A = this chain, B = another copy of it.
């Protein structure tokens, strides 16, 4: 990869994901979204609602990647500790932010602005707010860290607001090649040779197990169109060679 690559990590915060109570829907969404923008998601972590763990993860990730996105833990209840943890990670103070209170006032009367709801206006010093058209309580970004809600509809709206502000890299071109009934074990070494000869692309092999047996796909990914096209051609040539030797279709039912 060149030094032009824009990278990201996602930090999912919440006991409920780790206990299995809530099934995460944000990882796949954000992965697709960033990939489409030319941002390479390099790592995901899921941590529980423990301040030390959140602080350690934020600091490990923000030093390593262009951007860090977090989801979860910015609501009005006592278990929402993401804002405080991010402030600790950056070594800044945290307090009620008048801009955030103004956003909450769009929805809540003074009487409704309870101590709990005001927790959603606690923002680390120096952070910029992220608008939330779904429920008004803002996210924020500080340094290279973007703090978003965990509720998917709200996270998605926040991400739409963040996206225009992000640096983007060259988009990855991805080509998927169906391996027609040929098991991985029969094309593996040929594919390894192709991977070694085409160092400007990454080549993956993905078996999918269905009731009918394996269905294998090879995916060639890269940022240079010519390099991707040459590697894809090499894979098609490999398929032809293997078919000429009698591999394919019926050999794949129960084989890796």
Residues on A lying within 8 angstroms of B by beta carbon are 12, 15-24, 27-28, 31-35, 40-49, 53, 75-79, 107-108, 112, 114-117, 119-120, 134-137, 151, 153-154, 172, 174, 184-189, 191-192, 195-196, 202-209, 219, 221, 254-256
Shortest C-beta distance, A37 to chain B (Å), equals: 11
27 A–B contacts, CB within 8 A, in A order: A15-B202, A15-B221, A17-B31, A18-B43, A19-B172, A20-B33, A20-B35, A21-B219, A27-B46, A44-B44, A45-B45, A75-B205, A76-B188, A77-B192, A77-B204, A78-B191, A78-B205, A79-B202, A79-B204, A107-B254, A116-B184, A116-B185, A119-B188, A120-B185, A135-B255, A137-B256, A151-B209
- Copies of this subunit: 2
Query: In the bound complex, do residue A78 and residue B192 qualify as a contact, i.e. CB atoms below 8 Å apart?
Result: yes
Q: A185 to chain B: which residues have CB within 8 Å?
A: 76, 108, 112, 114, 116-117, 120
